[in-house]
Amino acid sequence: MGKPTGFIEYLREVATELSPIDRIRNWDEFHLPMPEEKLRTQAARCMDCGTPFCHTGTMISGMASGCPIHNLIPEWNDLVYRGLWKEALDRLHKTNNFPEFTSRVCPAPCEGSCVLGIHNPPVTIKNIEYSISEKGWQEGWITPNPPVQRTGKKVAVVGSGPAGLTTAAQLNTAGHWVTVFERADRPGGLLMYGIPNMKLEKQSVVMRRIDLLIAEGVTFVCNTEIGKDLPAASLLHDFDAVVLCIGATQPRDLPIPGRQLEGIHFAMDFLTTNTQAILDHRLAENHISATGKNVVIIGGGDTGTDCVGTSLRQGCTSVVQLEIMPQPPDFRAPDNPWPEWPKVYRLDYGQEEAAAKFGDDPRAYLRTATHFEGDGSGHVTSVHTVQVQWQPNGKGGFVPQPIPGTEQIIPADLVLLAMGFLGPEQPLLDGLGLERDARSTIKAEYGQYATSLPSVFAAGDCRRGQSLVVWAFNEGRGAARECDRYLMGSTNLQG
């Protein structure tokens, strides 16, 4: 390493951000650039640890430990320390097609398994990755690089989210003609409409990369839902192979009394219509607004946090987030050792903003909704809740049980359900006659990605279930590799 004693000499320092009160006034990204000298100092903290767990991508206790796409983190940290930014970008692109996305939205399991993190704050891997990528764009190092030779093979990729974009990029690199079908009006899938603009800017970041893919020869067909606007069977006839990257977009509902009341929406519908309004500079007929409303968000996780941040920017009167799980500890619990993902209390950007505006973290832990109450005219006015405790169910698991006497009524003009997703939507899978597993996801072995239908592959959340963007990148690269092998008999693609 360039600085063998850097981890001893330098303290962890993260990039500064706009204050929470200032940033909720607009939809812009709020991270401020870090001076190059400080970035090189932070990269110097990367240890010559011998066994860098940061890029292992191993699943431990159901969560990723280390980077699922196996980023060569120690190598580009060393290059950044030495001021070799272009070489660092080259190493980053060897494993990651879109570092500008992961460095913004990935929760950084790499940092959770950093060896330095055993006894000190870990290396600021995510911020260094962001800086390498942005410097590459600013310096003009990231330019269209279409394949020199085409194979003549045609591949249809269904879905333009993280897995679809990665699959398309890799197959195009191999020389195949790739057409990406997207049912929305813009490409990007989750990256475009599932993640708010202040977390991932659409025009300057997402479309910047999509425009580059188009310049490299990838074709995007939007406003086209396979199985509805275009028969699924036509893909099998018109293309040599098909890769399904349709995500897991079937939301988990909350079938309790009052669910039919107006003002109760799925979180993704709320986030999607808001982003559409920002991009189109107008409110669509289906726009869901939190302006002047008491908002209750049911569910934690990233989607719940994004709903908090979006509600604040829309000008909500209040916001409460119900979380059925207990509040995590401030430090790793004994049963959550390194290199597992640290399950500790964090104040994410949305909760930080809510605390700045309203005085406290909006999350109410160990609390769940029992029913919704309306105003007599069909619109929700409150959420009835109760505190729960987790108890053994006699089958080796735990279930939440209500605690009598802990009932509470929370005012609500807008309720957002952010409780995760059950799996992919089924009509397309029914139309193709694909085998599915017990979770309703597409049956395709990890590492092989081949479905029950010859020439059809599957990758991302539609195969593995709801997961991280970085896992979608992992699967997109793997599916492209296996699709290329199927088409050509061998492959040089890495995945």
**Quick one: tokens of 144?**
């269209």
Same domain membership, residue 314 and residue 269? yes
458/450 Cα distance (integer angstroms): 7
223/181 Cα distance (integer angstroms): 8
Same domain membership, residue 328 and residue 275? yes
**Quick one: tokens of 147?**
């394949």
145 in a structural domain: no
Q: 341-372 pLDDT, tens per residue? A: 999 999 999 999 999 999 999 999 999 999 99
pLDDT at 1 over 80: no
pLDDT band at residue 76 under the 50/70/90 scheme: very high
Same domain membership, residue 257 and residue 244? no
- Mean pLDDT (the chain) is 96
Domain boundary among 367, 402, 419: 419
- Contact status, residue 91 vs residue 103, Cβ threshold 8 Å: no
User: Chain centroid to CA 426: how far?
Assistant: 22
- Amino acid code (one letter) for 488: M
Same domain membership, residue 126 and residue 96? yes
pLDDT at 285 over 80: no
CATH number for the domain spanning 337: value is 3.50.50.60
* Nearest partner of 159 among 100, 227, 241, 243, judged by Cα: 243
Query: Quick one: average pLDDT of 61-88?
Result: 95
Q: 3-class SS at 63?
A: strand
CATH number for the domain spanning 54: value is 1.10.1060.10
Residue 107: domain span: 6-138
Torsion, CA 58, CA 64, CA 65, CA 67, rounded to 10: 80
Instruction: Count structural domains, the chain.
Output: 3
411 in a structural domain: yes
Same domain membership, residue 380 and residue 451? no
146 in a structural domain: no
- Contact status, residue 10 vs residue 298, Cβ threshold 8 Å: no
Same domain membership, residue 382 and residue 291? yes
- What are the distances in angstroms from CA 188 to CA 137, 201, 479? 19, 12, 18
- What are the distances in angstroms from CA 28 to CA 197, 205, 303, 391, 409? 7, 12, 18, 43, 35
Listed in sequence order, the residues at least 6 apart from 141 whose beta carbon sits closer than 8 Å to its beta carbon are 86, 89, 135
Q: 217-257 pLDDT, tens per residue? A: 999 999 999 999 999 999 999 999 999 999 999 999 999 99
Same domain membership, residue 199 and residue 301? no
Exposure string of 341-352, with b = 16+ CB inside 10 Å and e = fewer, is bbbeeeebbbbb
55/69 Cα distance (integer angstroms): 8
pLDDT at 2: 72
- Amino acid code (one letter) for 384: H
pLDDT band at residue 286 under the 50/70/90 scheme: confident
- Contact status, residue 255 vs residue 248, Cβ threshold 8 Å: no
pLDDT at 284 over 80: no
228 in a structural domain: yes
179 in a structural domain: yes
